[in-house]
Chains A and B, each alone.
Chain A
Amino acid sequence: GESVGLHLPTLSVQEGDNSIINCAYSNSASDYFIWYKQESGKGPQFIIDIRSNMDKRQGQRVTVLLNKTVKHLSLQIAATQPGDSAVYFCAENFRLTFGKGTHLIIQP
Chain B
Amino acid sequence: DTGVSQDPRHKITKRGQNVTFRCDPISEHNRLYWYRQTLGQGPEFLTYFQNEAQLEKSRLLSDRFSAERPKGSFSTLEIQRTEQGDSAMYLCASSRLAGKNIQYFGAGTRLSVL
Chain B interface residues (CB < 8 Å from chain A) = 4, 33, 35, 40-45, 48, 56, 91, 93, 100-108
Q: How large is the interface on A (under 10, 10 to 19, 20 to 34, 35 or more residues)?
A: 20 to 34
Let me know if B41 and A100 touch, CB within 8 A: yes
Once A42-B107, A43-B105, A93-B101 are accepted as A-B contacts, the answer to whether A98 and B42 lie under 8 Å apart by CB is yes
Let me know if A101 and B42 touch, CB within 8 A: yes
Q: Tell me if B's interface is mostly helix, strand, loop or mixed.
A: loop
* B107 surroundings in chain A (CB, below 8 A): 41-43
Let me know if B102 and A96 touch, CB within 8 A: no
Chain A interface residues (CB < 8 Å from chain B) = 32, 34, 36, 41-46, 49, 89, 91, 93-101
Q: What CA separation (Å) do A73 and B110 show in the bound complex? A: 31
Let me know if B100 and A96 touch, CB within 8 A: no
Q: A44-B105, A46-B104, A96-B43 are in contact. List 16 more A-B contacts (CB 8 A).
A: A32-B101, A36-B105, A41-B107, A43-B107, A43-B108, A46-B103, A49-B100, A89-B42, A91-B42, A93-B101, A94-B101, A95-B56, A96-B33, A96-B93, A98-B42, A100-B40
